[in-house]
Homo-oligomer: A and B are copies of this chain.
């Protein structure tokens, strides 16, 4: 009988033309120090992969990890300098990203504690609340919740039902859930560990409604006992992320002091009056919500890193697993069976998504850099929302593909793809449902266009549209439509021109459709009617943005072999996107049939080329073997 311990064939390791460590340095960027620090932590034995199915045990484990992370000072990174922090969200996101190599429940629980709970106090609160809570939040002594979503109100936050009514006699707010559907739900830390919650509620002062504001409401005492007037139900078993204790909360006329309103953007004065220096209620609402964009970026970054783990497992397995085309055993004198990675279908399934993960990585780096400079403009929010949707959809699809590419082995929990898939699945839905986010992106783009033509007179507008159509038609000239030399098709200028053309054409078409619809319908109905077109616009936009950031990042590389490899990866990403959308280009006469087929052939060819360095490319992600954990991916 053969040995009983897994004995997989060695992973094929070809010598790449580039230095994987150089690529890793590029990916680590200016946050290499914190990434290394986190890796040192998560490669300790107590951070080994939790493979149990016992939910309580898992929650205990994750809470323990949270405390260890806090003890290592990582919770302090985001704190204001005045409180001994580093006020460095980029560094905190890098830490969270790196933790995503280990366990996504941990990332989410930390995200709730620091990004959402701590972040809401920091960004929506003022000094009083900062001093009172942030140190205990950072040390994980005080576990908190972020209670926004309600059972009846997920995406439509402005319609929340929970009420916060100011009572002058007692100088308190009365927090109340008037109905079942007003219950807060899917609230992380609410199931078990949270003692306080940032609660979003409709503020009423002197019988006047002021819309959604945030309040700090204690929910459990120090012994974990639920406080009077609070009702909590556990969300129980979930598809994934079972290390996070999500729960539902209802409030029965719970009183909190006036000081517990997060009052940076609006306040109730000593005399009991509502004041805010943001006059428009809608602007106020979006200002408050907008401060939370960091969470969206973290989710995208985290799920992109989980996707890296999945690709590392699937590509390493594909570089050792053989099937068909020869004799199974090396011992025989026949040629070996074919490596999965040598099958064109396998390359097609794994390598364009691999290229996409690199593209997303650079787009996220760009976002995080801008986050550091606190750019919370509409254009930044648009970009963040679009990249979040793009990254998380790609992660979901890719991890699923990785599972399938590993066959039965991918189905075994020990090989970790099950957990990677289940834990990130919700990323397409939370921190903004992707479909809703993409609608928002498109509307913002239309608003941007509207502002551009705002000053114009009616005749000018007509000419503006006309000229841009001319411009579009120009792009359809036979040369552009037909030239299909490899050199032309591989040029990033070609890729970007195509994508910009599509984005612009769809934008103009949407604007015209909206103008037409708006003559007979209200704005909401008009936008609803053209949802499919808006989705297309958002896709066209984000694909262009992501490619631009990838091309920009490559342009700054000095090392030639690395530049060459990444250029190939970037071309695969770009041409795969063009191939995916080729129906649109064909419909609009920008591609001839022959040219479209030439693109498909180039994607095949680039897959073959990238395949040669695929193992080295995933090595450059720098994921510790102990985190990968999957036996099929380890020597």
Contact = CB atoms under 8 A, between A and B. Distances in A.
B433 A411 contact: no
A189 to B, nearest CB: 16
Interface in A411-432: 411-414, 417-418, 421-422, 425-426, 428-430
A532 B583 contact: no
A152 interface: yes
A7 interface: yes
Q: Which of A182, A430, A528 has the most CB of B within 10 A?
A: A528
A181 interface: yes
Contacts of A430: 408
A178 interface: yes
B597 A593 contact: no
Quick one: copies of this chain in the complex?
Answer: 2
A177 interface: yes
B586 A593 contact: yes
Interface string A151-173: 01111100101000000000000
A1 B174 CA distance: 13
B426 A348 contact: no
Contacts of A344: 528-529, 531-532
A616 to B, nearest CB: 24
A149 B368 CA distance: 47
Contact of A429 (B5, B404, B428, B532): B404
Interface string A525-559: 10011011001000000000000000000000000
A431 to B, nearest CB: 11
A337 B411 contact: no
A4 B250 contact: yes
Interface residues of A, number: 97
A286 interface: no
Interface string A468-504: 0000000000000000000000000000000000000
Given A154-B407, A528-B344, A180 B7 contact: yes
Contact of A524 (B324, B425, B586): B324
A596 B53 CA distance: 49
Given A55-B53, A186-B408, A425-B411, A239 B417 contact: yes
A4 B249 CA distance: 10
A610 to B, nearest CB: 15
Contacts of A327: 159
B418 A404 contact: no
Interface in A33-73: 51, 53-55
Nearest to A327: B159
B408 A400 contact: no
A467 interface: no
A426 B238 CA distance: 20
Interface stretch (A114-122, A229-237, A511-519): A229-237
B153 A3 contact: no
B408 A426 contact: yes
A464 interface: no
Q: Which of A51, A54, A418, A583 has the most CB of B within 10 A?
A: A583
A192 interface: no
A414 B239 CA distance: 9
B7 A328 contact: no
Contacts of A532: 344-345, 348, 600, 604
Contacts of A460: none
A299 to B, nearest CB: 14
Contacts of A231: 1, 4
A298 interface: no
A257 interface: no
Contacts of A161: 328-329
A528 B338 contact: yes
A396 interface: yes
Contacts of A5: 180
Contacts of A252: 1
A379 interface: no
A589 interface: yes
Nearest to A253: B1
A401 to B, nearest CB: 10
Which 9 A-B residue pairings sit nearest by Cβ, starting from the closest? A239-B418, A586-B586, A237-B413, A2-B180, A587-B593, A583-B583, A2-B179, A1-B252, A344-B531
Given A238-B413, A238-B418, A408-B430, 6 more contacts: A4-B233, A239-B411, A345-B535, A349-B435, A586-B587, A588-B593
26 contacts: A1-B177, A1-B252, A5-B180, A6-B180, A51-B237, A153-B328, A155-B407, A159-B337, A161-B329, A179-B329, A181-B328, A235-B412, A236-B413, A238-B411, A239-B403, A239-B413, A239-B418, A239-B421, A325-B524, A345-B435, A345-B535, A408-B430, A582-B587, A583-B586, A586-B596, A589-B593
